[in-house]
């Protein structure tokens, strides 16, 4: 009963916290615009960088999306470890709820981002070894093919594949990991359509503000 209460509270708090979007806040605060009406329309780091340039605020947007998720995931993981010895499950559960909040935020009429950074923040608490391998794969694909969408989805797909080999607390951790990866991949469906049409923009650390 107590675990159900903890998970219910975690689900609500993680969803609400995950729904806070740094790109939307920053675009409104610093540019008096809505990033969802600019560029690709996605309220995330890549689109914000493409529209507003490679400045400090752009990187703060990325940091915010990571930190907000780490905050709720770490608390849930700690509580689940302290009382039920289920920290891995708690981290994956809270992370998935935060990812759902980021994708479908009640704060912004359910129009949010693609949750890759939220997913990236989550897996640090699930298994750090998986995170290091996924991050290496992500960087390899990103700087080889130059497509953020392909790199994000490749790294996301890799996680639930490698996780069972590293060890999971129970089957639910793997199920939630699969759900998280599927969510990220599905949220990138428009990017894959653009890839097929040859319209997907390539990522560059030196990209300038769009004219």
Q: Average pLDDT in the 131-147 region?
A: 96
What are the CA-CA distances from residue 131 to residues 41, 70, 91 (Å)?
28, 14, 13
Question: pTM score, two decimals?
Answer: 0.92
What's the angle, vertex CA 122, arms to CA 184 and CA 40, rounded to 5? 35
Band of residue 204 on the pLDDT scale cut at 50, 70, 90: confident
Q: What is the pLDDT of residue 210?
A: 45
Q: What is the pLDDT of residue 177?
A: 97
Least confident of 66-75, 83-92, 193-202: 193-202
Cα 171 from chain centroid? 22
Q: Average pLDDT in the 155-175 region?
A: 96
Q: What percent of the chain has pLDDT over 70?
A: 97
Over residues 89-105, the pLDDT tens digits come to 999 999 999 999 999 99
Answer for the pair 110, 91: CB distance below 8 angstroms, yes or no: no
Cα(117)–Cα(105) distance, integer angstroms: 15
Q: Token match 């699969």: residue?
A: 178
Q: Average pLDDT in the 194-207 region?
A: 85
Cα(170)–Cα(4) distance, integer angstroms: 17
- The set of residues, in sequence order, having a beta carbon less than 8 Å from that of 112 and lying 6+ positions away, is 19, 21, 43, 101, 102, 103, 104, 105
On the question of pLDDT at 147 being above 50, the answer is: yes
Band of residue 211 on the pLDDT scale cut at 50, 70, 90: very low
Over residues 112-121, the pLDDT tens digits come to 999 999 999 9
Token pair belonging to 63: 């940091």
Q: How close are the terminal C-alpha atoms of the chain, in Å?
A: 56
Q: What is the pLDDT of residue 101?
A: 97
Tell me, what DSSP letter sits at residue 192?
H
């Amino acid at each position: 009963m107590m675990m159900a209460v903890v998970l219910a509270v975690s689900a609500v708090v993680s969803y609400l916290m995950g729904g806070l979007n740094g790109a939307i806040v920053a675009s409104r605060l610093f540019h008096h615009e809505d990033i969802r009406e600019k560029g690709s329309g996605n309220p995330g780091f890549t689109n914000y960088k493409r529209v507003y340039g490679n400045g400090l605020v752009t990187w703060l947007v990325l940091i915010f999306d990571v930190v907000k998720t780490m905050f709720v995931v770490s608390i849930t993981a700690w509580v689940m470890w302290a009382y039920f010895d289920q920290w891995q499950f708690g981290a994956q559960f809270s992370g998935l709820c935060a990812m759902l909040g980021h994708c479908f935020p009640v704060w912004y009429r359910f129009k949010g981002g693609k949750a890759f950074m939220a997913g990236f923040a989550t897996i640090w608490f699930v298994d750090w070894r998986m995170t290091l391998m996924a991050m290496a794969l992500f960087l390899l694909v990103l700087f080889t093919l130059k497509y953020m969408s392909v790199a994000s989805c490749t790294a996301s797909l890799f996680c639930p594949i490698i996780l069972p080999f590293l060890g999971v607390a129970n089957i639910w951790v793997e199920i939630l990991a699969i759900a998280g990866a599927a969510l990220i991949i599905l949220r990138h469906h428009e990017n894959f359509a653009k890839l097929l049409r040859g319209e997907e923009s390539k990522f560059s650390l030196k990209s300038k503000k769009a004219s």
